[in-house]
């Protein structure tokens, strides 16, 4: 008779699986997320936003400035145009002009300084017309109709800009009149954008005045400006003095007109 066999005890592990040392466990891996430089990111965002704002403002200002620019006289509403030939005469006697203020024609041998000059007196019109012939823009105003603050606004368009001059004009039939050779515009307010349009377009625009490249410097006229009613400085035959500024050596034009 076969003997009963006692079953062999098992460890409860699948057969063929090697045992692991008792008491040992796999360590838990700690995953640390990298920290973000939020301060630098925020600073970069601020810089980008600021730069965009600056660029946007600059573009808007350029567009605004260009919106008022003109490319031809016909774009200035109310502009009057005349036709005075080049080669006007130099006269030391008073000249009767058709327009008031005058915009061309015979004139004094000496030009009024027009290097961004603001006069406080009604300068001789014959001298001012000579300045127009040199490509200057002449802003005039009625001193009885324009306030000191408005005079200052007009002066700001003239000071420091070569080939511009400004003076009061007694009896002017409008508060403000602006002239270049053959062109004139009369307005009632210093806020009228056409004043700047006129000045920017016609100042030394060689398509619209006779003596291209002529000087505007006459330091003697700045120091001793001739006013309406006074005789020409050339009437006695005495030549005026002249500053050496801008390389000019004579106060009278060598060309006829």
Neighbours of 185 (CB within 10 A): 23
Give φ, ψ of 245 to 5 degrees: -60, 145
What pLDDT is recorded for position 41? 83
What pLDDT is recorded for position 37? 81
Q: Which residue has the tokens 């300084």?
A: 113
What pLDDT is recorded for position 179? 98
- CA 146 to chain CA mean position, Å: 24
What pLDDT is recorded for position 245? 35
**In terms of Cα–Cα distance, which of 243, 225, 244 is closest to 108?**
225
- pTM (predicted TM-score): 0.70
What pLDDT is recorded for position 255? 38
What pLDDT is recorded for position 108? 98
Percent composition of the chain: helix, strand, coil (DSSP 3-state, to 5):
25, 10, 60
All structural domains of the chain with their residue ranges: 77-230
* Cα–Cα distance for residue pair 139/44, rounded to 1 Å: 50
Q: Beta partners for 227?
A: 123
* Cα–Cα distance for residue pair 199/176, rounded to 1 Å: 13
Would you say 103 and 169 are in contact if contact means Cβ atoms under 8 Å apart? no
The one-digit pLDDT tens for each residue of the chain (257 residues) are: 545 555 555 455 555 555 555 566 666 666 666 677 888 888 888 888 887 777 867 656 655 656 789 999 999 999 999 999 999 999 999 999 999 999 999 999 999 999 999 999 999 999 999 999 999 999 999 999 999 999 999 999 999 999 999 999 999 999 999 999 999 999 999 999 999 999 999 999 999 999 999 999 999 999 999 999 999 999 865 444 343 333 333 343 433 34
What pLDDT is recorded for position 240? 45
What pLDDT is recorded for position 46? 86
* Cα–Cα distance for residue pair 3/95, rounded to 1 Å: 157
Structure tokens given for 81: 């145009």
What pLDDT is recorded for position 81? 98
């Amino acid at each position: 008779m076969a003997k009963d066999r006692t079953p062999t005890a098992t460890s409860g592990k699948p057969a063929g699986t090697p045992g692991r040392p008792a008491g040992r466990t796999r360590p838990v891996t700690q995953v640390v997320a990298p920290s973000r430089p939020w301060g630098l990111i925020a600073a970069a965002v601020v810089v980008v936003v600021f730069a965009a704002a600056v660029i946007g403002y600059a573009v808007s200002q350029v567009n605004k400035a260009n919106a008022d620019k003109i490319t031809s006289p016909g774009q200035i509403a109310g502009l009057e145009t005349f036709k005075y030939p080049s080669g006007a005469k130099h006269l030391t006697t008073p000249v009767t002009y058709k327009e008031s203020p005058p915009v061309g024609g015979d004139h004094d041998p000496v030009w009024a300084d027009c290097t961004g000059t603001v006069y406080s007196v009604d300068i001789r019109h014959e001298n001012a017309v000579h300045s127009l012939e040199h490509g200057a823009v002449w802003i005039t105003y009625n001193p009885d109709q324009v306030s000191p603050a408005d005079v200052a606004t007009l002066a700001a368009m003239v000071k420091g800009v070569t080939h511009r001059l400004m003076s009061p004009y007694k009896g002017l039939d409008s508060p403000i009149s602006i002239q270049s050779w053959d062109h004139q515009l009369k307005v009632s307010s210093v806020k009228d954008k056409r004043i700047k349009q006129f000045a920017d377009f016609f100042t030394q625009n060689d398509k619209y005045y006779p003596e291209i490249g002529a000087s505007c410097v006459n330091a003697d006229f700045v120091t001793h400006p001739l006013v309406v009613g006074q005789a020409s400085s050339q009437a006695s035959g005495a030549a005026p003095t002249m500053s050496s500024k801008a390389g000019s050596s004579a106060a009278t034009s060598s060309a006829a007109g």
